[in-house]
Chain A
Amino acid sequence: MMHNPEQNPADIEKLLKNLPKYEMRKAKELQFYAKLMKLARQKKQALREERYQARGVFSSFSIFRSFAFASAAVIILFTATVGFALSPNVTEGDLLYPVKKWEERFELTLSDDPAVRVERHMRFAGRRLSELKTLLKDDPEFLRQVLIPTAKAAALSANFNDLSPEVQATIEAYYDETSKASEEASKIKEVKKAEKVLRIVIEAQEKHVEKFESMIPLAPEKVKPVLAEALTAVEKHQALAVEKKVEISRLFKAKTEEVVLQMIPLREVVQEIRAQGEISEAKLEKRKEIAAQTLENAKAKLETLKQKIAADPGVRTEELEAFKKFVEEKLSEAEEALKKEKYGTVHGLSNATDAMIKKFQLYKEFKSEEEARKHSEEKKRIFEKEMTDGETEFFKDFEKFREKTEAAYPYDTQKIKPQITTPQVTTPQVTTKQTYPKTGAGYKEGFYDADEKKRLLELIDEKIRSLKIEYPSADYQHKDVEDLRNMLRYLEGYEKTSGTGTGFLEDGGSIGSAGSTGPGFREEWLQADLIETEEDFKASTGPGF
């Protein structure tokens, strides 16, 4: 069995024996396990059927030897009796449906083991989906849509409440079953069991996803969004379960025995998704408040402007009078917009006023627009240089950070790598000629908020420095990289939105494109904790309205 020392020198053999072995990635292994378990169940099922056929139901009295077998026999008998009630063709609204439900409740009473109960609930949830498919197939609405294509268009606007009560009830029942499964799963305290249960849940979810996916293209238009919502929820729920499973596998490896397996019910995930879709009352109220405040500020500024004009008639009085009138007009427009709850417009107009007033000061200072522009261009140049230098420094640090992380976590960072792309150092683009006359101060006065940007860079820098000190675990690092990424994105967003200043650009400027809308509400909203979702983030720029 051993090598031949004469032929094969030991040194080479030693090296060969110690060649590194590689490991599969966790995610792939997880997938493998899911497939293996599916196969195992199929095998078991096939075996059971074979035995059952070979033996016949009553040929052996040994079947009554143990209670387990007895209860199995009861189930077999029972299912035989109500077998036809269990078919997916029996749905909500059918006469036999209560029999089906009753059978399920009975099956649940057979075991106190949470693991078994989870499996059953998930299986019943799967049944609900099969019923749903039947219901959708039989839906006369569906037939009508196939036959009369215009009905499809009419159905598009319908929402969940317009669904037939049976379909609605079946979807609700599906959520019920899965939520009960989560409830049962949360009773589990042993790591080993938790792992098993999660595997069951993930596998079941896999099937549910497949069912939803096959159902959606065939479903009537009005049901599609509901199914799509459920599908998104199940996928999200599954991702959570997989995450849990990885966590638990780690505990298992660390020989921990106890665990608190808190599983969020699917219904909560659904609600979360719905909440993301609609903006909450409180949020709207807060947005209104902020918009009103902005308008108030602009009004106050206008007052100051009036006083200044009164006190210092200055050089170009006529022009200034027209200017004042224009600003007043815009502010009354803003007031209208506030009433109509168009907060983006309010903000755009108010900020523009602000900018115009700043412009007024420049008028005074420089006597002519030409002079003012020269001044502003010089400021811009200085600012850009400062920023470019600062950013170059910062990204040098960032690169170092990345290299270090990669060295510490070669595999993980491979996954993360494409996500952290160092943003290009770009200077905000402002075409002075086009925007200057209409946009007011623009970057002249404070819209290139150099301090704010510096503050952001410092914040990120600080974060990186803190990361360099501690590298406790791969997970920790993941989270932090994510944080960093968000910060960088924010920085990018800041660059994009704060460059141009605000204005009255007629072609949609003050309420339209982000470029001329100015910073939008982002800063204010961030401070008021109003930005929770991607949507909020987008809306905060102004054009979202």
Chain B
Amino acid sequence: MSGVKDFVQHYEAHKKSVFTYILYRVSFDRDLAEDLTSEIFLKAFEYFDTYDKNRPFKPWIFRIARNHFINYLVSKKSQKTTSLEDIGELPHEANIEDKTDTKLLMERMEIFVRELPETQQELILLRYQNGLSHKEIAELVEKDEGAVRTAISRSLDALRQKYYAAKNKERIPLEDIP
């Protein structure tokens, strides 16, 4: 039996998602996010026998990722008291090739998402960037599905307001979005 082979396939398929998710949550500290992502997948591998192969992998790995991240926060808090809420200045990732309007929009949206309160940010990322269903998210964050739905819709409202405010200021054609 080749559990390793299966696992590596899952890893390759989901590494980007998990890494990006963590990257947002550690306010784009690349080194830290890389370490945490590695740890998450190693932990996942340890418990890979318990994973039910008939169910999708994504919610499973995200559950581990989330728990691991929370554990990390707890351990960090015992050393230092810094909350993710007080991120302050956002570090800049200069890596987008040519700055077309679409890219600009995307970058702006990324910053808006990064500015969201932590819980809202997480929901938005899980829902849209990682395509988890409301039900899956509800299970993951241990909340009522209806509550998740409302929270997401509220976050969307907040994002929309910010987005249109910025857009009216600079008039970037929305039609250019891919």
Q: Do A and B form a real pair?
A: yes
Q: From DSSP, what is the main secondary structure of chain B's interface residues? A: helix
Q: Is the CB of A23 within 8 A of B16?
A: yes
Q: Is the CB of A13 within 8 A of B128?
A: yes
Q: Does B133 contact A (CB under 8 A)?
A: yes
Cα of A342 to Cα of B54 in the assembled complex, Å: 78
Q: Is the CB of A32 within 8 A of B16?
A: no
Cα of A37 to Cα of B128 in the assembled complex, Å: 33
Q: Is the CB of A7 within 8 A of B128?
A: no
Q: Is the CB of B41 within 8 A of A32?
A: yes
Q: Report the minimal beta-carbon distance from A482 to chain B, rounded to whole angstroms.
A: 23
Cα of A7 to Cα of B157 in the assembled complex, Å: 9
Residues B105-164 near A (CB distance < 8 A): 105-106, 109-110, 113, 124, 127-129, 131, 133, 149, 152-153, 156, 159-160, 163
> Which B residues touch A37, using CB under 8 A?
4
Q: Report the minimal beta-carbon distance from A519 to chain B, rounded to whole angstroms.
A: 43
A22-B109 contact in complex given A13-B128, A17-B129, A28-B38, C-beta closer than 8 Å: no
> Which A residues touch B160, using CB under 8 A?
9, 12
> Which B residues touch A433, using CB under 8 A?
none
**CB-based nearest B residue for A14:** B177
> Which B residues touch A410, using CB under 8 A?
94-95
A16-B15 contact in complex given A1-B133, A24-B37, A40-B4, C-beta closer than 8 Å: no
Q: Size range of the interface on A? A: 20 to 34
Q: Does B60 contact A (CB under 8 A)?
A: no
Q: Report the minimal beta-carbon distance from B163 to chain A, rounded to whole angstroms.
A: 6
Q: Does B91 contact A (CB under 8 A)?
A: no
Q: Report the minimal beta-carbon distance from B74 to chain A, rounded to whole angstroms.
A: 23
Residues 89-108 of chain A, each 1 if its beta carbon lies under 8 Å from chain B, else 0: 00000000000000000000
List 19 A–B pairs whose Cβ atoms lie within 8 Å, in order of A's numbering.
Answer: A4-B149, A4-B153, A7-B153, A9-B156, A12-B156, A15-B109, A16-B113, A16-B127, A16-B129, A20-B20, A20-B110, A24-B34, A31-B38, A32-B41, A36-B4, A36-B42, A39-B46, A43-B3, A410-B95
- Please list the residues of chain B having a beta carbon within 8 angstroms of any beta carbon in chain A: 3-4, 7-8, 11, 15-17, 19-20, 23, 30, 34-35, 37-38, 41-42, 45-46, 94-97, 105-106, 109-110, 113, 124, 127-129, 131, 133, 149, 152-153, 156, 159-160, 163, 174, 177-178
* Other A-B pairs, 6, CB within 8 Å; known A12-B109, A14-B177, A36-B42: A8-B156, A12-B160, A18-B178, A28-B34, A36-B11, A40-B45
Closest 6 CB pairs of A and B: A16-B128, A32-B38, A410-B95, A28-B34, A21-B20, A21-B16
